[in-house]
Amino acid sequence: MSLTLMAQPHTPDIAARPLPLHRRSLAPDLARGVMLLVIALAHTHLFTVFIGGAQSAVTTADRIVTAGTAIFVDLRGYPMFAALFGYGLAQIHRRRSEQAQAWPRTRRLLRRRGLWLIVFGLAHTVLLFPADILAVYGLVALLLVGVLRLRDRTLMILAAAWIPVAAALHALVAADDAMTGGGMPLLPDGFANELAFRLSLFAVLAVMMFVSTLVPFLIGVLAARHRILEEPHKHLHLLRVTAYAGIPLSVLGGLALALHEAGVWAGATPGDLMLATALHQMTGYAGGLGYAALIALVAVRLTDRRGPVTNALTALGQRSMTFYLAQSVAWAVLFSSYTLNLHLTSPALGVLIAVAVWSATALLADLLRRHDLRGPAEAALRRLTYGPSR
């Protein structure tokens, strides 16, 4: 059935005209633009410490960066991006419902979108980067599109029930690594070897990411129903509680694992790491949602006075898929053995590279905004999903 959805021709969907970029809500796009920085930081840390095999705590600066990455980045930015994905999917469903589109037709469209995300993600994995999220999001859309019609209470129960499952899986992986001395393998040399490496690593990471995606995805669907990011001025109390409680909770929950990864807590047992990792995972959801809430509160203040920085970050968020992929092009150029083959030995230097790449993508996104151009990846996905526009 899934292959049929992709194979069968479909007529242009006249009900699916894209919303003009200048009419889109500020908060979701601003959040996506800021979160691309968090993703860049996570990816350079992945190349520096895990895939690259560098020591994570050589200098004081490296220790601080390693601890800060565990507290503010790892499993913090990803839940927010997953929530924004659920939010966007629910927005599509709501708009089509308002246009009196039948549910079976909407379901087919969203599943077709999910299938194309899988195709994009697998190509991304093969050619550029092993920790792809597009294919995982596509699989979520394909399998869980039905949750868009569930009641609010059911969504909340499902999300709450899945939290211990995700935490337990991460804890078991951490304990296994501690007992076996495992971890991510080093990046091999050569195009063919790197291709095989990316596919084999993705097969493991995709399971972990899928498990980590479900809770924030469900919460994102729930938030979209109540237009929390589109109308943040109507939900100020909820946003403040989420931001001012979620972020500190996330910091406290990530502290133990941060001390271990920075080399400060050297005597951690496998049991200690299981507890620390489970706590890190569960509080990461609070942190990711707290980030989204904080950005929504900032968006309330910026709505009527957008400056050049806000415009650039919003443009980046409106083209987040394009520049998520552009980041991976940068990593391939910098770190692959058949290109510059850069070997990072310092997590602190990795932060500088991440900020530089993210800043460059923000400038490019703003250039596209000035010329009223959509991101190439977004345009391609839309055409493949909806068919040629009139």
Q: Roughly how many angstroms between the first and final C-alpha of the chain, as a whole number?
A: 28
Q: Please provide the average confidence, as pLDDT, over all residues in the chain.
A: 88
Residue 309 has pLDDT above 50, yes or no: yes
User: Tokens 């501690």 map to which residue?
Assistant: 178
Q: What is the pLDDT of residue 1?
A: 40
Q: At what angle do helices 347-370 and 308-318 cross, to 10 degrees?
A: 90
Which tens digits make up the pLDDT trace of 62-96?
999 999 999 999 989 889 999 999 999 999 999 99
Cα dihedral 41, 42, 48, 52, rounded to 10, equals: -150
Please count the structural domains in the chain: 1
Q: How far apart are alpha carbons 334 and 78 in whole angstroms? A: 23
Q: How confident is the model at residue 174 (pLDDT cuts 50, 70, 90)?
A: confident
Q: CA 84: distance to chain centroid? A: 8
CB 222 within 8 A of CB 155: yes
CA gyration radius, the chain: 20
Rounded distance between C-alpha atoms, residue 223 and residue 296, angstroms: 12
Domain that holds residue 62: 2-386
Decide if pLDDT at 31 tops 50.
yes
- Contact (Cβ atoms closer than 8 angstroms) between residue 217 and residue 86: yes
Q: What is residue 110's predicted lDDT score, i.e. its pLDDT? A: 96
For residue range 100-156, list pLDDT tens digits in order. Answer: 999 999 999 999 999 999 999 999 999 999 999 999 999 999 999 999 999 999 999
Q: What is the pLDDT of residue 173?
A: 80
| Per-residue pLDDT tens digits for 92-102 | 999 999 999 99
340 pLDDT above the threshold of 80: yes
pLDDT at 175 over 90: no
pLDDT of residue 180: 62
Q: Which two tokens stand for residue 388?
A: 């040629």
Whether 305 shows a pLDDT value over 90: the answer reads no
Residue 122: C-alpha distances to residues 128, 272, 366, 385 (Å)? 10, 36, 28, 17
Give the C-alpha separation, 22 to 265, whole Å. 49
Residue 250, amino acid: S
What does the DSSP 8-state code read for residue 390? -
How many other C-beta atoms are found inside a 10 Å radius of the C-beta of residue 284? 29
Per-residue confidence (pLDDT) for residue 9, from 0 to 100: 45
* Tokens at 253, concatenated: 């929950």
pLDDT band per the 50, 70, 90 thresholds, residue 55: low
- Quick one: average pLDDT of 285-305? 92
The Cα–Cα gap between 326 and 231 comes to 31
pLDDT digits (tens, 9 = 90+) for 182-215: 556 677 888 888 889 899 989 988 999 999 999 9
Q: Tell me: pLDDT of 12 over 60.
A: no
Which residues lie below 8 Å from residue 259, measured CB to CB, with a gap of 6+?
67, 265
* CA distances to 115, 120, 134, 166, 376 from 381, in Å: 10, 9, 12, 30, 9
Which region among 51-55, 105-109, 242-246, 262-266 has the lowest average model confidence (pLDDT)? 51-55
How far CA 164 is from CA of 70, 146, 199, 248, 290, in Å, comes to 20, 23, 28, 20, 20
Structure-model confidence comparison of residues 295 and 268, the more confident one: 295
